[in-house]
Structure 1
Amino acid sequence: MDERLFGTNGVRGVINQDLSAQLSMDLGKAIGTCMKGNVAIGNDPRTSADMIKSAVAAGIMSSGANVIDLGMVPTPVVQHYVKSNGIAGGVMITASHNPPEFNGIKCIDADGTEMPRQKEEEIERSYYKKSFSNMSWDQVGSMYPRSGAIDAYLSSIIKLVDVQAIKNAELKVVLDCANGASTVSSPRLLKDLGVRAITLNGNPMGTFPGHPSEPTEDHLKDLIATVKETGADLGIAHDGDADRTIFIDNKGHYLYGDKSLAIVASEMVKENNGGTVVTPVSSSNCVEDVVTAEGGKIVYTKVGAPVVSRKMIEIGAVFGGEENGGLIFPKHQYCRDGAMTAAKMLEIVSKQGPLSDLVEKLPRYSQDKRKTVCPNDLKNSVLSYLVKQYEKEEVNTIDGVKICYSDGWTLVRPSGTEPLFRIYSEAKTELEAKERSDECEKVLAEAIRKYLK
């Protein structure tokens, strides 16, 4: 790993290659030194979870802080515990949707949000300089196992949805826990909501034997088939640490996250008689269309859940989220929450009818996604060139360069880890989206050739 440890979702790597016990313990020392107080810790069921959690916890305790061990829980459970109990912060041991050989260390701020970059930088400085608070033998911290975090978390969710309406609908649901952290929470949630649930991959296993933990369409074939075979009202799929939810409608169709984001955003604006929804620049126009139709307003941010949640706090937004199934409900907590998302969608379907009908009412857009190689040292110059080439259009530079048209957009974002640009285009038809990407790719190629000389 280089001088920057934290990526967009914590420190991640392959176990005993990128992420070792020694690195984890030293990072724990830095976390304890910087957080200066009790730290909650949880983990998903990866096979390396005990090793990494023990190392991080040992480092935190050596700095004099106590560790509150919540056990195997979803990421939003740790966030909810931190927010609700007034402690210094939290750590989640997870690599979310990455393959089982990976694990990660994600830091949580005192308000339950994902840690902002400036605080991560403070931890990184402590880590690299080895400037740790190494306490004497009689001042080191202790570890305290804590039960009840899941109960409090689920109680918070249940208070925010119409439980009676869900029970009256007598819904049948297929739930795919991906052998991940949701196995200890989502089945209980569905039971409390009076939903008849058929559960797939409901036992926690760190090798993810049912399917890889990323809830893509290819990985959810069993879920899709079971929804069709059983005539279920919908399918629910979580990723490994259960901060995201993807849905299958009653006809067995996979819903990309922009559709569930739009459906829930429309409902949240309606419930609040307006208000602002925050989402990254990469989100589909269908989200803005439904929000404005209900009298709401949309605010765009850089890509990343921490950026979205902090903008929501800043402006008092009623809802926010990303197109990957990570939705944020401010009355519950300012972070992506898979179980809250599932509960809200169950309420919406209970009151408004089949999920397939709700999808059918959404504005239709097509997307084209691709990437093109560009040397890292040319990226800024190439983006500036792109802005000049499209100066006659509305151009947004919040995150990369987004060229806005009346019926869609093209977004060019530089990869933070690879020498390439990612190109996303959206239009009313597949052909238009492809043509916009083709055109933009040509302009990028011209710029790269120019600056390579």
Structure 2
Amino acid sequence: MRLFGTNGIRGKVGENLTPDFLSEVGLAIGAYLPQGNNVVVGMDTRVSGEMVKNAVVSGLLASGVNVIDIGLAPTPAIQFYTKNHGDFGIAITASHNPPEFNGVKAIAGDGTELPREEEERIEKIFFSKNWRIVNWRDVGKYQKKEGANEEYIKGILSHVDVEKIRNRKFVVVVDCANGASCFTTPYLLERLGCRVISLNCHSDGTFPGHESEPKEENLQDLISVVGDVSADLGIAHDGDADRAIFVDDRGRFISGDKTLALVAREIVKNKGGKVVTPVSTSLILEKVVKENGGEVVYTKVGAPIVARKMIEVGAVFGGEENGGMIFPEHQYCRDGAMTLAKILEIMAKSGKKLSEMIDALPRYYQKKISVSCSDDKKVKVLESLKEKLKDEKIDTLDGIKIWGENWWILIRPSGTEPIYRIYGEARDKEILDSLIEKYKRALEETIASIS
């Protein structure tokens, strides 16, 4: 049995995320840690955040570990504070999921997301209920700490050329999606000398502005305002701000693949080295990295997997197609605000507009859709689909990736939702649409055939 998905423990509050369940999660993590360890806890802006946090904290304290509560903060800020001040960290967040969801993300002492083998140790304790409940004298200490977001902002500023960015006096429209970036990104931009125009930058866990996933259909206000004020760019975060999606100066939504390739090109051009990314990433990345003397290393989908592989191979950069980028000089986790600062630095140093740099990248078309599939069917569906597609050129590193001439399709189960995701890329848009539809039908037929 599994407790953790691809990005921590997630569920609907009041259904599978109940106070009893959450306190037992805290007890399991507490028993996993040595008594007396310091656990950093922070949360995003969801309405249920305090309930979820306090339930988990009760289990931690009962296990004899100490809690440092840093309050509302983006997930990368929690990871940064954990790296500097804690033995372990917990982010109370469900990232881009709707407001009725919440979750518990476990963070190792070095600020990275906990590797799967360590999650399994916690799961073993959880399912066996092998708690360590201490006596009253040894209950953990609880303290609140301020300043985590400021420390995080200073950390980002230390890794970019602040004066070069300030001299450009960029006009930036920022959409915080009423999430945790409300407390960091607008202030980071001010420190970088930008004129900041804010959308949905007040904290509200019901996400009234739009859904917290930064998809193009959710960012129409951002796209409109960028054009109306002639901004240099627009930036949008997801709910916990570990990702960044951009709108260029021409008001175009820029897919995460393109900004990933843009940043990778500049870093490899200056440093050389390896770039780590999942199998779902565009061929644009491989093309620009190889052209500049670098190497691409592929992994299964999942930011923790990318981060661990980066450490293993000594990569200079890493990231995913969804706008999550990892800068090892800062920390080994996705970081939306660091991504924004780096994009501004690239623009400042090159003297070019974002649209110019994007247009200079190789052109491919990408598409991503999802198909409903209950969690209990996922394994059988994957095995059946492998058999159905065995005569095609496939790669099974993570799900099933089908290769063709100038195109690929990736079919893989989500680790956080009851769905399969289908990713696709091709040089021709009509061919891509046709391929997506073809493999969607194949997937739906397979799901329907599994009882």
- Which category of TM-score, normalised to the shorter sequence, fits these structures? over 0.9
CA 1:246–1:442 in 2, change beyond 3 Å: closer, same or farther? closer
Q: Does 1:427 pair with 2:429? A: no
Q: Which residue of 1 aligns with 2:59?
A: 59
Q: Contact (CA 8 Å) 1:27, 1:127: kept in 2 or not? A: yes
Larger deviation: 423-432 or 221-230? Answer: 423-432
CA–CA separation in structure 2 for the residues paired with 1:132 and 1:405: 52
The 5 Å alignment of 1:30-45 reads 30-36=28-34, 37-45=37-45
Q: 2-side partners of 1:177 and 1:189: how far apart?
A: 13
Deviations 1:300-357 (A, max 9, x none): 1101101100000100001010111111000000000011001001111222211111
| Equivalent residue, structure 2, for 1:408 | 407
* Contact 1:11 1:105 survives alignment (8 Å): yes
Residue type of the alignment partner of 2:72 = M
* CA distance in structure 1 between the partners assigned to 2:96 and 2:208 by the alignment: 14
Report percent identity of matched pairs.
51
The alpha carbon displacement at 1:396 in A equals 2.3
Alpha-carbon offset, residue 447 of structure 1: 7.8
Amino acid across the alignment from 2:257 = D
In the alignment, the residues of structure 2 paired with residue 442 and residue 222 of structure 1 have an alpha-carbon distance, to the nearest angstrom, of: 34
Q: Which amino acid aligns with 1:74?
A: P
Deviation readout 1:219-258 (Å, 9 max, x if unpaired): 1111111111111100011111111111010011111111
Determine if contact 1:186/1:339 at 8 Å carries over to the other structure: yes
Which residue of structure 2 aligns with residue 382 of structure 1?
384
Q: 1:326 aligns with which of 324, 327, 330?
A: 324
Once the two structures are TM-superposed, the CA of residue 452 in structure 1 deviates from its matched residue by 7.4
Deviation, 1:439, is 5.4
Q: How does 1:37-436 map to 2 (within 5 A)?
A: 37-85=37-85, 87-272=86-271, 274-352=272-350, 353-370=352-369, 376=378, 378-386=380-388, 388-390=390-392, 393=393, 395-415=394-414, 421-436=420-435
Distance of 1:39 and 1:444 partners within structure 2? 42
C-alpha distance in 2, partners of 1:452/1:66? 47
Q: Secondary structure at the match of 1:212?
A: coil
Q: Which moved more, 1:203-212 or 1:399-408?
A: 399-408
Q: Distance in 1 between matches of 2:357 and 2:447?
A: 44
Give how far 1:70 is off.
0.7
| Unaligned segments of structure 1, at least 5 residues | none
Amino acid at match of 2:100: E
Aligned partner of residue 389 in structure 1, secondary structure: coil
**Distance change in 2, residues 1:303/1:159 (3 Å):** same
Deviation string 1:108-145 (CA, Å, 9 cap, x unpaired) is: 01111111111112112212221111000000101111
Deviations 1:144-186 (A, max 9, x none): 1112222221111111111111011111101111111111111
Does the 8 Å CA contact 2:381/2:446 hold for their aligned counterparts?
A: no
Structure 1 418/191 Cα, relative in aligned 2: closer, same or farther at 3 Å?
closer
CA shift at 1:96, angstroms? 1.0
User: Partner of 2:409: helix, strand, or coil?
Assistant: strand
Aligned length: 445
Distance apart, 1:423 and its partner CA: 3.4
Alpha-carbon deviation of 1:19? 0.6
Work out whether residues 307 and 326 of structure 2, in 8 Å CA contact, stay in contact via their aligned partners in 1. yes
Return the alpha-carbon distance in structure 1 between the equivalents of residues 93 and 153 of structure 2: 21
How far apart, CA to CA, are the structure 1 residues paired with 2:63 and 2:445?
Answer: 54
* Distance in 1 separating the partners of 2:96 and 2:238: 6
- Paired residue type of 1:221: Q
Runs of 5+ unmatched residues, structure 2: none
Relative to structure 1, is the Cα distance of residues 386 and 296 closer, same or farther in structure 2, using a 3 angstrom cutoff?
A: farther
* Shift in alpha-carbon separation, 1:223–1:115, aligned structure 2, 3 A: same
Q: What do residues 410-441 of structure 1 show as CA deviations (whole Å, max 9, x unaligned)?
A: 22324557887543332110122234445556
Residue identity opposite 2:156 in structure 1: I
* Alpha-carbon distance, 1:94 to partner: 0.8
TM-score by length of 2: 0.93
How far did residue 372 of structure 1 move? Answer: 6.3
Separation in structure 2 between the aligned mates of residue 443 and residue 206 of structure 1, nearest angstrom: 38
**Structure 1's 181 and 382: CA in aligned 2 closer, same or farther, altered over 3 A?**
same
3-state SS in 2 of match to 1:409: strand
Deviation at 1:403, TM superposition (A): 2.7
Letter of the aligned partner of 1:256 in structure 2? Answer: S
Kept in 2, the 8 Å contact 1:46–1:206? The answer is yes
If the length of structure 1 is used for normalisation, what is the TM-score? 0.92
Q: Which moved more, 1:27-36 or 1:375-384?
A: 375-384
Instruction: Work out whether residues 177 and 239 of structure 1, in 8 Å CA contact, stay in contact via their aligned partners in 2.
Output: yes
User: Partner letter of residue 53 of structure 1?
Assistant: K
| Aligned partners of 2:381 and 2:450 also within 8 Å | no
Amino acid paired to 1:67: V
Q: What does residue 22 of structure 2 align with?
A: 24
Which whole-Å deviations, capped at 9, do the CAs of 1:272-317 have from their partners, x for residues lacking one? Answer: 1x11111110111111111111111111110110110000010000
Give the partner amino acid of 1:47.
V
